[in-house]
Structure 1
């Protein structure tokens, strides 16, 4: 059985519990679903609440940050605070900039030396 119930399965569980007054055990054996799925289906708030803190930067600001960082080597080597100051007048802290870049797939590392081929 899938982990999450479909909308139709949730409706069946709610109807069986609230309209036909079936017990949880009867619903479990009839529909072949788990007790926790039944509990979640009959709970008053079936919408999952978002976890974590809301992202500070908007989608446009995130794209602006990514474009700026990928534009040149100098921009890639700027610190998080320098990026915040250059783009957003210091409005966002270093953790906001760092977490945004990490969500976009950027990671910090030591720059490699360029090998001259002469």
Structure 2
């Protein structure tokens, strides 16, 4: 486990930096273990699966534990071609840093407006190169 890396303590549940603690038997040193800087609980070794879990998984499972529910599956949003009629995807949309306009209606538009005159833009020509 790299030094100064954050881990989740299995005892207190907080994000902590592991602290090295020397194990002594009288005056004889028996080894070292990593402990939580907050509660002093022993942390799992670097080889254990809970110590190597990605941070996103740990945060999601911590949130699920807090709410008392299971981790939900990722939701995939799909939309048909009829539902994706935004001005920003329209052939007549003019992109400008200060003002977005519709060339067909000659009006100011918001890029996420629904376009009543929606038309797909022409695909770029295969031999077209961008001008730089």
Q: Please state which band the TM-score falls in when normalised by the shorter chain.
A: under 0.3
Higher strand share: 2
Q: Relative contact order (C-alpha < 8 Å, sep 6+): which is higher?
A: 1
TM-score, with length taken from structure 1? 0.24
Instruction: Give the TM-score normalised by the residue count of structure 2.
Output: 0.22
Structure whose CA Rg is larger:
2
More helix by share: 1
